[in-house]
Structures are given as structure tokens and as C-alpha cells.
Structure 1
Amino acid sequence: MATKIGIRQLVEFVLRKGDLNEVKNSQNTALAGARIHRQLQSSRSADYESEVYLKKLVTMNDTDYIISGRADGVQLNDDGALIEEIKTSDQAFEDLTENTHDLYWGQVKVYGHLLFEAHPDLKQVTLQLTYFQVSTEKITKTQKVFQLAELATFFTDLIKEYEYWLTLRADLRQARNASIKDLPFPFPSYRTGQRELAVAVYKTIRLQKRLFVEAPTGTGKTISTLFPAIKALGEDEIERLFYLTAKQSTRHVAEEAVTLMSADGLSLKSITLTAKDQIRFPEEQDVPPEENPFMVGYYDRLKPALKDLLTHEDQITRSVIEKYARKHTVDPFEFSLDTSLFCDLIICDYNYLFDPLVYLQRFFSDDDDDNFFLIDEVHNLVSRARDMYSAAVSDAPIGNLLQLAQPDKSQASDDLQRELKKVRRSFTRISKILIDDHVTEQMQAMPPDKLLGTLRKFNDFVSDWLQQQKPSALLDAVRDYFFDCLTFVKIGDLYDGSYQTRLVLDGHHLTVKELCLDPSDFLDRSLSLGAGAVLFSATLSPMDYYQDVLGGQANSIAYQLPSPFPPKHQAILVTQYVQTTYHERAHSEPAIIASLQALVTAKTGNYLIFLPSYGYLMQIKTAFEAANPDIQTVTQENAMDGAARQAFLDQFQADPDQTLVGFCVLGGIFSEGIDLRGDRLIGVAIVSVGLPGINPETNLIRDYYDHNNGQGFAYAYQLPGMNNVLQAAGRLIRSSHDTGIILLLDQRFASRRYTDLFPPHWRYFQTIQSLPQLTATIDNFWQQTEAPNENKTDA
């Protein structure tokens, strides 16, 4: 199977030179750019063909490569041919750098050469660069005529320059495939369900499908998805894997899985991408690119840095990137992105694929069946996606900006004040409508077009204004507001029937929010950029809900694994005598405290208590401590950094000689992603069914799904809440040796509406009618359960 190399990738890698000039923040999104392309293409003549796929087979070092891409437009006639390349940006055509021109023309010249190859009777070809300046809608067309020999020479020189890198890629790939061929599963045996999951993942890759998997805690889902996917890599079923996660801790688990396989001989280039603001060197902060030594001359040092890194490292983590970036004086973030082009496995955050503002253009500008996606903890993607595709902007910062601009009586300051006042007037017009209607909040199905138009012009002005300013408090404040406005405009380009606009008047200030209620179409579009995907989590019930909201209902398959651990190792106790609805909380407090006391006094050990809000947590914690002054407690705080989180968890020690009770927020930082194995945790209590607090935005989601499928309450409130419950309960049984009790304190849990959502390994749940029954049931469980083994480990 020949390796594919994109024309844009080839041209940019070979021809880029000089400084790293970070792309100015453009108002153009991929979807907006695609619309502009279609608009221009549709205006062409009848013999004009859009999106013409062109390719050429190149053999080097006994390896075949397919150089391919899609020309925006081709027009064939008796006299020759015309190839059009359309580029969209905010910059004026005359402001483009010389190197940008070289890259644009380099791409269309390769298309010209490939067209000659496809039509050997052609005498000459006209290449046309059509440049659309988004901010002004100005179109600039330039044409150049080339003969066969000129473009053949250009292509040959380009390939010759790239030959070292093609050979390097071929050698790396050959070594990779050889190492994978006999690669063993990195454990002596498979756990229950592991082999079945691995087979399902492999088949999904072969069939280029999407697979939704619920793999309960202990299944070993990371290795069970990575191992078969890497086997498929070795058989050239795919060329590149993306392992996408929501949390840094999950990325580390993926890295550890690669380390395990590497110990068995795997030779594979993997890289972990770190966010720009986290990996940039301290001395780069607040330094303009033209003064940043890691950016000035970046492309002149890039290839030696890549050669050094790729010939010495396989597992490219953050620390490895930083080491070589310092050695060769290249920006670490951009260096990691350039390195990723040569990697087989890319471990990164969701936003690199799904976020419309920061996705990896070098991989996801076009569909590519050589890419495959493994998406971990995918239950988190529902709310993350809504955030990615929503945006808000307010007039609150404008007053401060006007004050900061006043002391400077320059023309630039006067111009800034004038543009800011235009934006404020646009907000004021909207505010007046709310005031006249005697409301402080309003929803509308239409986009805020007039405000968007004003902000587009403001962004155009500020984009130029920023280039002329020296560092100052005003510059920093304007830049922050500019980014808010820019994001708002970009999201406005995506506005469709899945959006609502929310207007909120708070005192004298107005906030306008573009709220994405249903991102499933956007997610589906992103997933379609690869050959397929496996989307997995420990909690993915009900499956049809996740398939629907994550864009996979019509074109995916579902797979639910049983827990690998004996279900009777945990007692699931549902109290029928506790009501936690808001109006019943004060009345039910004594029963909750007594139930928690029954749980934590039956056996010395560590316990976690989850409550749906911080206020309710403090209420129950205060009452619990008053009733049990001798029991040690620890509490999740409102804002905890990494050190504080670790200090919290470190208190849950194995083999404790006194009971410790931790109070946490349901759906918070300790509800998932923590691993307290063995007797570091022997009981979890969850107070309430975890419904999100009633608020206008969640009500909009409810109304949207009520209209679409009649399940508004379930989609907006019940199912997200139940997922938080399942995640919190999943903190308990982490290995085959663990035992413990899950106490569900809310009578609603016993209704069919909720028991139908219980996972299979909860099938032995018991309903508890009274406090005496609870006490007896807990005592009986511990009497029948063997004492936990002190040396609890799992393969």
C-alpha cells in the first residue's frame, strides 16, 4: 500500500523558510472558507469542474508514494487548461509575505504538473490564484502560464528536496511494521471482555466504521483499544492514529500503554501534544514574534531539529519536545506540531479535532482515510462540544477600555475610542429592546446579525490597530476583548437551527450568547475527516443517547462490555425513605445523616460522599460533623490546583486505622479520573440523582430535544445527571480484589426511569425501606465479604 502525501503538506514542508510568523487571528473558519469556495466555484462557467482530485505515484528507495490533493477548479479547453487555487484570509493581498506567495504558487504549480501527467496532450496550462480577502470581500486574481517542462522541473526539485524525509518516513514505517508483526499483548492474559473489545476495535478499523463502546472500570480499555489499532497500523490498514482525551491524566495512561508495548519491542513514533500556553518557554511570554529568538529563523532551524529528534526518540512527550526545542532554539509548541507529521500516534486533547477555532489544519483541512480516531472518556465530549460551538460577548469591558484610551490623545487612540463607541451603541440598541419589554432576559432563534456585522468591522479595525501598538495596559485589555469578539464572530458563521441566542441584561451591561444546543452535526463532520472512530467510556448508558448527541446514531455500531469484576463484590443500596428534591432537603437531612453514619461506622475505612452542589455539600457536611465529631473529614474546596487535589487524595491511605470521610461535589474533579484501589476506598454515598441545576440554558436544551424527539427532560437533565452518578460510583471498584458499598440516597433511584439506566453489573441492587434495614444490610455485607487483601494488584 502506497503512502499518501498531501500536496499542501509537501509544499509547505519544503518551501517554508525564515521566521515563524504566527497566523494573525482570522475571522475565517473552515466552514466559512468552504462557503466562500463554493460561492466562487458556482459562479464559474459550465466547463469548470470543482474539487478535482489529482495524484501521482512516485517511487523512491523502493517505496511507493502517492502525491495527491484536490484542485479547487479545473477548466479544460482546446487551447489548454486553467487551474484555479482559491485562498481566503483577512489580510490584504498586498500585505502577504513573499514566502506566503511562494507557498500558494507552489501548491498550484504541483496541481499543474499533475494535470499535465493526466492529460499528456496539453501544450500549456494557466495557473490562477484567486485571493478572497474576507474582511473586505475583495477578490484579487493573478495568472501565470507554464509549459510542461517548467512544472516537471519544479516538481522534480521539490521531490528531490523532500527525498530525505520520504526515505526517513519509509524507514520508520518499515521498522514500525516489522516491530508490530509479532508484537504480543503486553500482559500474560486478557481480562474478561478485553479480547472481545480488541477484536471489535480491529474489525471497526478494517470496516472503516464508528464504534461506541461502554467498557466498565477494570476492562483495561486503553490497552484494549490501542493494541489492536497499532496492529492495524502494522498491516497498513491506516497510517496514523489519534488518541483523543479530555484530561491530562488520561493522556498519561495512553503514554504508559505505549511504554509497555515498547518494552516488548514496539518501534513506533508517538507524540503527546501540549497546549500552547502550557508548553511555551517562560522567556517567550509577552514577546512579539519578531523579537522571539525561538521564532526568528524558525524554519531555517526546523529540519535539523526534526532530523535530530526523529533519529533519537520514539516516545515524544512534553519533556522530550522541550529538550530538543531548547537545543535547536525552536518554539516548542510549533515544533511539536511539525513533529507530529512524522508520527504514527498522536495523543492530544479533543479540541485538536473538534474545536472549530483551534483544530489541526495540517491534518483536518480535508478528509483522509489514513487517519483513525480513538476517543477516550467520550461522555465528556457532550458538554465540551457545546462549549466549543458556543460563544458569548458583553459590553461590560468597553467602559474600562475607553478610560484606558483617554490619557493617550494620539490619533490611534481617538480612532479606537470611535470604534469602541460604535460597538457600545450596537449593544445599547439591543438593551433598549429588553428595557422596553420590561425583561432582563430574552431568547431568540435568529442570530444577532446586526451585532455580528458591527463586531466584524470592529475586528478588522483592531487587527490593524494591534500591529501599530507598543506593549501597554491598553494593548493587553484591547487584545483580550478583541479575542472575545473574534470568537463570537467565528461562531456566528456556524449559526444554524441547532442554535439559540440568549440576551441577558445585568444592571447596565448586556451579554449576548450564541448557544449551541445540539453539536451532533458538527461532531459528525469532524469524525468524517478520518476513516472511522472508536468512542469509548466506562459509562455510556443509554447507548442510543450518546450515539445521538455525539453524531453517530445513523452510521455507528454499539458494544457494551460486562464488568470484569464479580458484581457481588459491591453492594448497591437504594434508600426508599430519602427524598432530596429541593423542597424536601431540610426535612430529609436527619435521615441522610443517619444513613451516612450507618455506612461509615459499620467498618473502619475511607469513604467518599458526593452531593450535587457545593452549598448542599456544606449543609450536609456541617450536620454530619456535628453528629459525628470523632470522625475525621476532608472536603473538596471550590478551587483546587494540582497540588491541593493530590493532597486531598493522599489522605486516603491503605489499611487505615481510623475512618476518613471525604465530601465531594457530584460531577466535580473527584467524580472521575481518580484511582483509589484496594481499601483506600471502601464506600461511596451519592446524595440525589444528580440533576443539573435548573437554568435557562439547560431549559433551552430541554425544549430543543422535546421538539426533536420528545425526550427533552431526559437529554437535558436526567441522563447528564445519571452519568455523573455512574462516574462517581465508579470510583469504588477499581480492581478484581476491591470490595465496597455504593449507597444511593434518593428514592427516585428505585423508579423504573432510573433502574432502566443501571449498568449490568448493578443488577444485584437492593432497595432499602428503612434505616434499621440499611444498618442490617451493611453489617451483613461486611460479614459475608472477606477482608480486603493488603497486596491488591492487577495486570
Structure 2
Amino acid sequence: MLRSGDLNEIKNSQNTAQNGARIHRRLQKQRSKDSNYESEVYLKSIVNMNDTEYLISGRADGITLTDAQAVIEEIKTSDQPYDELSDNTLELYWGQVKVYGNLILKEHPEFEHVTLQLTYFRVSTEEITTDEKVFQRDELDKFFQDLIDEYEYWLVLRAKLRKTRNESIQKLAFPFPAFRTGQHELAAAVYKTIYLQKRLFVEAPTGTGKTISTLFPAIKAMGEEKVQRLFYLTAKQSTRHVAEETLELMADKGLKLKSITLTAKDKIRFPEEQDVLPEENPYMIGYYDRLKPALSDLLTNEDAITRAVIEKYAQKHMVDPFEFSLDASLFCDVIICDYNYLFDPLVYLQRFFIEKDTDNFFLIDEVHNLVSRSRDMYSAEVNDKAINSLLKSAKAIKNKSSEEFQKQLKKIRRVFNQMKKVIQEEDREEKITDDAPDKLLNVLGKFDDFMGEWMQEQKPSDFLDKAKDFFFSCLTFVKIGALYDDSYKTRIVLEDKHVIVKQLCLDPSHFIDQSLDLGLGAVLFSATLSPMEYYQSVLGGIDNSLAYQLPSPFPANNQDILITQYVQTTYKQRPYNEENIVTSLVTMIKAKTGNYLFFFPSYSYLQQVKVAFERDNPDVKTIAQTGAMDNAARKDFLEQFQENPAETLVAFCVLGGIFSEGIDLRGDRLIGVAIVSVGLPGLSAENNLIRDYYDKENGHGFEYAYQMPGMNNVLQAAGRLIRSSHDAGIILLLDQRFSSSRYTKLFPQHWQHYRRINSMEQLTGAVNNFWKDHQHED
């Protein structure tokens, strides 16, 4: 309510909540020598807004109360010098203590004034600045009432929006003539999960319509005031668009609610904001002065707040689009966003997720992606590669500031060199330890403190940009270091004379559990969550969640799953099986002209088989995925898959890549998928650490580190084939390991009719017979 003036991007700070609390306790202990001083004083008052009573309360850091006067102290901690704090920041600081002043005067009618003291502790230097102001009762009464009046405006607006929302939801019917197979059951399970405040894992195969089947019942529960806000979290832009389209479909049927899609800061900023300092950015200068009318305009005229809508109103009102979207989200009923806004410890939405709020409920789509994403979120690495070049650049700048910068960098280099020496003396290239890299974390933490002030003094330059890049990697490393526990390992690697230090989170399940516990409950769903116990374990739900697996809604005989017993794809056997693989692929495509996807575990293996295939089949049209395909290249690739093709097209792709999930080739745009190998991730030191960790935890190390991630890639790739009830085609699994019980037990329910193929002749007959039985599809 009190924000005004410019939008100043929050400077990265080492001042954590824990550190701030420690400083508060230290100062409060010093004050306690005065017998009239009391710390953490709870103050409250009941006010009526929009015909509803609200409790206004808070804890003053300290109050000194005598017969003659009351003194209220508010303690603030940060890295910036006090005299460099913005007017807006100071207004917020004083605003908080002025509210406390009004509350204490309400409790003590004998006083006509109160002394308010702001104590500012600068963390990096431990410098303390104290400022005092005396306020009269009538001043604070007016201040408090103005604040309440302003807040009431937004309360009334929100109440009107929710009333309109709930009335529309109560009238809302399912937006299709009938439920598909499994949809009604899934919708009922989601509603029950919200009602019981639980966590539910759901495997909903392709065709279930999982987006409408989760959003519709969750919105119906919202209309009954069981929740107030839904977060629809997903890993991909394409699935965010599906959520938007689903909400639009319900809006066409009468739904009235506010939804917003959050777009990453680097993608939504206007061109004129790029490489511009905040104090020179026209969309940040005076941001808060224009925010309230911008929000009022947006919320009065728009329901579906997509990226384009945010950009339209941000341009109109000259406000930064990213920050505007975050401020607008506070008034929205459905927030569509990436996983990191809830789970990432560095960028989560603090306005929603500082503490538990049972008004919030989470719908987490394509949740199989969260396994690897969460490990990345809670891991960090730093290296010494940039240090020497930064020192060289700094040495050319002849001033005291540059000398201090060099001094700090040399301290970091010294710690890296000590690590390097230990590894070299042991004649190794890497070292794994259970312990956090405390010496490195300590020196990097001090460097981060130094850089906070140093960067503000520098003029824009390439050197400053490079110094900032190194600073941000150090800052991330230190923040992740604060989370280090028994689920972590430290890996120190020597590579081309440089030292790389990684803090690896092997098991982020407890962090995910903590994040999910910030809401009323959650539904975590995907087309592929087999085996369910594995996903519940690695995603923090083994002890506190329910599981539900739906059957495929499509006819089982529309898809033939063939496992070649005569093909081996282990690394040593690949050269000897190349001919069998190529012949099997040719057998598959010769039975019917059409479009086919062939998947491989790596680009090198893809290229090896592709060369052999093209040598023997020069007349067959082929295309291949490459390692660096942008959106245009991806679009061109998919446009090759035409309906009713006159010639066969074969596309060579990589398991786990951009074409193994998130693409929708319906009808005869795709009639066959071949998967070469069981998709195991490559052997690596880090995957081995995951294996060893889970061997100790539950005895399933190989499965958790290699087999399950590989099988998920296989299931996702195979899932490209049958996208509707009219689709038909063949899945060819080219690896004898697929037929072992170790793998067949992982097959989803709709794969249980798989067949083992023992020879090329049997494969020819199976493929020909399948298409003979489906001639009516031609």
C-alpha cells in the first residue's frame, strides 16, 4: 500500500532470514539491560473493512514503556549503506513502525504521542544507524485510517471478483457433451484430494484429457471456497498453452475468473529495457506511482491474463511487464507458471511461498520432468576459470577499488589452488566427499558481501559484466551451500588445469516435500508415472500421498508393441548388431508407407545407425535431430510429417530430446516408433553417486540412477504414437532387455499386450498382419 516511486531491482544479498534473526536477538539482548524494555511485543487491533472484521497484528522488535512515554524500536538489516536506501524503502520501514505506534497508542490512551526508533544494521560492516521520530496521536490515527481506506478498496475489488467467480463456477458444467473414459474418475479423485487436503500422484495416459480433468474439478472446489488460488505448474511452454486453452474453453461456457501466465523475466522484457540500468529504465522509473491504476485497468477489463495481455497493459501504463505480472498475480485465481516459481530455492515466489497458505492448491503437470529439474535446482557448481582473466583486466585499472577487487579474487584463487594441490598430491583427477566445501563457501561469502557494494561503484563495461557473471555463480553456490545436508555430495574435478567444485543434491525429495507442504495439497500427474512407487519416493510423497493409475482410453489393438529378442545394444555388442537393427527398421517401414520416428540413446549411436541405414536404403527420405535446434528448426522438422504422405519419411531422434515428448502428430502423421536400446543414461561419476546413495537408502541404486530415468525416456518417446482414438501404429523395441522381467514389470497397464519377436521372419509377419488388420484405416 505504501510503495511509491521507482522500481529498484532487489540487490543480491547475503543477508538471509536466519542471519537477520540472529542480529535481532543480539541487539535485543543488549537492550534488555533496561528493565523497561521488552522484545517481540505482540500488538493487535480489530478493524472493520468491507463489512468484515479483520485482525491487524504484528510483533514490534522492542518497546520501552515508562510512565512518561512509549518508545518503539524497529530493527532492519541489509547490506546497503543507510544513506543509500531509497525513499521508497525508508517509507516502508517507517510505515511499519508507524502502524505499531498507532496500535500502542490504542492500548495506552494515557499517551498523546509515541517515539518511534528505526535501527538499521548494515550486515557487511556491522555499522548501526539509529533514527528517531516523535509522532502525535492524531498523526498516527490519520495515517492508519488512510492505510485502511486504501486497503479496503482492494479488498472490495477482490471480494467482487470472487463473488462473480463463485457464482459462475456454481453454474459451470463440464465443457464437453460427455466424459471420456477415465475422465470422470480422475476428476472425482482430484476433487476428493482437495476436499481431504491430500497429495495425489496420477498416471493419466495420453488421451485422458488430464488438463481439463484436473482443472475442472479444482475450479469447482474453488467455487465452494475450499481453495482460493490454483497454481498450475509445468516444465514446458506448450503445456502452459494447453492450460490457457482449457481455461478459455470453460470461459466460453460461462466461467468468470482471473488467470495469469507468468513468463520468465528475460523473455518478457521490452527491447528498450535490455541492457539498461534500473535507474534509467523508463518502465521502472515511477513504477509504483503508475502500478495501482495499471492494476485497476487490467483487472477491470481482462480475465485471461496471458503474456500478450500483460505486455499490452504494461506498454499502456509504462510499467515493467515482469514485475507487473507478479503484482497482478496477487489478484488471480489461477496462476500458470514454471516449476521454479514454487520449487527453486533461489527464484521461488516469496509473495506466496514464505509460509504455508491453505488457500493455495498445486496442480503439477508432466511431473516426471521434476525429478531431474529438482536435482538441478538444489545443486550448484563454481570454478576458477574466470579468475585469471578478471585479475588481468582489473590490473589494468589503476585505482583503489580495483586493488580491493584483486585482493578478494586472490583469496578465492588461493582456496581453489589448495583444493587443486590436494587432488594432485593424491594423483587423482577428482575427489568426492560427504563434507560441504566450507573453506570455499566462507571465502565466496565474503566475496559476495564485498561485491554488493563494489558493483554499485562501477561504471558499465565488459569487465563489469564479466565480474557480475562470476559474482552470480558464487552467490548461487553460497546460497545452495546453506542447504547442504546428508543428501549432498561435494565433487571436486580437475579439468584442463582448472578446478570445478560441485555441490550435488542426490535426493531433493525432502525439499520438494517442504515446498508442496506450503499449500493445502497437490495433484502431481503425467502420462508416464510407472512405477508409481519410484516417483512417490523421489518427489517427496512416499509417506504422505495417494496414488491413482488410469487405463488408456484408446483401444489396445490400435497399437502393437513388438520386442526383438535377437537385438543387443549394449556398448560392446553394438557393432555386431548394426545389421539386425537396420534390417528390422527396414522391415517396419516397408510394410506401410508413412512417417516414422526412430529413437536412439545418443547422437553418436544415432549417426552410426543412420549412416548404415542410408547406405542400404538410399531412396528412403530421412531427416535427423541435431544438437542445437532453435524453434524455427524444430518447427521445420515437424512440418515434414504430413498427412497422407506419398512417400515414407524416417526421422532419427534422441531419447530424452525435444522430439521425445511434447509433440502431437495425430492421425497418419505418424504410424510407427522404433526405440533402439533401453535408454539408460550414460555412465558418469554423478549418476554413480546417485546409484550409491539409493543403494544405501533402499537397495535400488541402479534402478533409481539409470533404469527408471531411461525407461521414462522410452515411455515418453513411445507416447508420440497414439494421440487419439483413431490413431494406429507399431512400437518396435529393439533391445532384448525389454523382454526381461526387470523391464516388463515397469510397463504401464496399456502395454501388457506386448509380444516377443524371436526372428526377422516373425517380425515381418507381425508387422504385415498388423497393417492387414487395420486396412480400414487407410
Q: Write the distance in 1 (CA, Å) between the matches of 2:679 and 2:288.
A: 52
TM norm structure 1: 0.92
Q: Does 1:603 align with 2:592?
A: yes
Q: Report what 1:10 is aligned to.
A: none
| 1:437-456 paired onto structure 2 within 5 Å | 437-456=426-445
Cα distance in 2 for partners of 1:692, 1:42 equals 55
- Check conservation: 1:55, 1:66, Cα contact below 8 A: no
Q: Which residue of 1 aligns with 2:340?
A: 351
Aligned to 1:24: 11
2:751 matched to which residue of 1?
A: 762
Q: Residues 72-91 of structure 1: matches in 2 within 5 Å?
A: 87-91=76-80
Match of residue 553, structure 2, among 551, 556, 564: 564
Distance, in Å, in 1 between the alignment partners of 2:540 and 2:105 is 41
Distance 1:522 1:453 in 2: 24
Q: How does 1:235-634 map to 2 (within 5 A)?
A: 235-634=224-623
Structure-2 change in CA distance of 1:29 and 1:555 (3 Å):
farther
Amino acid at match of 1:446: D
- Please give the alpha-carbon distance, in whole angstroms, between the structure 2 residues aligned to 1:346 and 1:280: 19
Change beyond 3 A, Cα 1:742–1:113: farther
* C-alpha deviation, 1:91, in angstroms: 2.5
1:136-191 superposed Cα distances (whole Å, 9 cap, x missing partner): 56676778888987655443221112222222111111111111111111111111
Distance 1:381 1:148, change over 3 A: farther
Displacement of 1:309: 1.1
- 2:163 pairs, out of 171, 174, 188, with 174
Q: Which residue of 1 aligns with 2:93?
A: 104
* Preserved contact between residue 71 and residue 83 of structure 1 (Cα < 8 Å): no
Q: 1:700 to 1:567 in 2, by over 3 A?
A: same
Q: Is the 8 A contact 2:41 2:63 kept in 1?
A: no
| Structure 1 residue 414, shift from structure 2 partner | 2.5
Q: CA deviation at 1:571?
A: 0.6
Contact kept in structure 2, 1:279 and 1:332, CA below 8 Å: yes
Distance 1:673 1:42 in 2: 57
Uncovered stretches (5+) of structure 1, i.e. residues with no partner: 1-13, 790-795
Q: Any stretches of 5+ residues in structure 2 without a counterpart?
A: none
Letter in 2 for 1:20: L
Indicate the residue corresponding to 2:2 in structure 1: 15
* CA distance in 2: counterparts of 1:719 and 1:111, whole angstroms: 55
From 729, 734, 737, the counterpart of 1:740 = 729
Query: What's the secondary structure of 1:505's corresponding residue?
Result: strand
Aligned residues: 774
Q: Secondary structure at the match of 2:777?
A: coil
Deviates further, 549-558 or 413-422:
413-422
Tell whether the 8 Å contact from 2:60 to 2:100 is kept in structure 1 after alignment.
no
Contact 2:75 2:120 in 1 (8 A): yes
1:657-677 CA distance string (max 9 Å, x none): 111111100001111000001
Q: Distance in 1 between matches of 2:30 and 2:171?
A: 55
Give the whole-Å Cα distance in 1 for the aligned partners of 2:488 and 2:613: 44
Q: Secondary structure at the match of 1:184?
A: coil
Q: For the residues of structure 1 that align with 2:462 and 2:455, how far apart are their CA atoms?
A: 13
CA contact (8 A) 1:397 1:481 kept: yes
Whether the 8 Å contact between 2:599 and 2:654 is mirrored in structure 1 is yes
Contact 1:74–1:81, Cα closer than 8 Å, also in 2: no
Q: Is the 8 A contact 1:29 1:490 kept in 2?
A: no
Determine the structure 2 residue equivalent to 1:669: 658
Q: Which moved more, 1:166-175 or 1:691-700?
A: 166-175
CA distance in 2, matches of 1:72, 1:573: 70
SS in 1 for 2:260: strand
- RMSD, aligned CA: 2.8
Question: Are 1:30 and 1:356, in contact at CA under 8 Å, matched by a contact in 2?
Answer: no
Deviations 1:328-366 (A, max 9, x none): 111111111111111111111111111111111111112
Which residue number in structure 2 is paired with residue 184 of structure 1? 173
CA distance 1:83–1:279, shift in 2 (3 Å): same
What is the deviation of 1:604? 0.7
Q: Any conservation in 2 of the 1:678–1:788 contact (CA below 8 Å)?
A: no
Q: CA deviation at 1:313?
A: 0.9
Query: Judging changes above 3 Å, is the alpha-carbon distance between structure 1 residues 307 and 222 closer, same or farther for their aligned structure 2 residues?
Result: same
Confirm or deny: 8 A CA contact 2:47 2:56 kept in the other structure: no
Cα pair distance change 1:122/1:188, threshold 3 Å: farther
CA–CA distance in structure 1, aligned partners of residues 777 and 96 of structure 2: 65
> Which one-letter code corresponds to 1:21 in the other structure?
N
1:474, 1:566 → 2: CA distance?
62
Name the structure 2 match of 1:793.
none
Q: Residue 213 of structure 2: which of 224, 230, 247 is its match?
A: 224
The SS at the match of 1:671 is: coil
Asked whether the 8 Å contact 1:398–1:420 carries over to 2, the reply is yes
Q: Distance in 1 between matches of 2:540 and 2:28?
A: 29
Tell me the equivalent position of 2:642: 653
**Partners in 2 of 1:603 and 1:685 — Cα distance?**
14
Between 179-188 and 53-62, report the one with greater CA deviation: 53-62
Q: Write the distance in 2 (CA, Å) between the matches of 1:113 and 1:756.
A: 67
Distance in 1, Cα, partners of 2:373 & 2:516:
15
Taking structure 1 as reference, are residues 157 and 684 closer, same or farther at Cα in structure 2, changes over 3 Å only?
same
User: What code does the residue aligned with 1:706 have?
Assistant: D
Contact 2:201 2:523 in 1 (8 A): yes
The answer to whether the 8 Å contact 1:32/1:493 transfers is no
Residue 32 to residue 202, structure 1, CA distance change in 2 (3 Å): farther
* Residue type of the alignment partner of 2:477: F
Q: Distance in 1 between matches of 2:542 and 2:140?
A: 47
Distance 2:129 2:159 in 1: 40
Deviations along 1:374-394, one digit per CA (max 9) or x if unpaired, are: 111111111111111111111
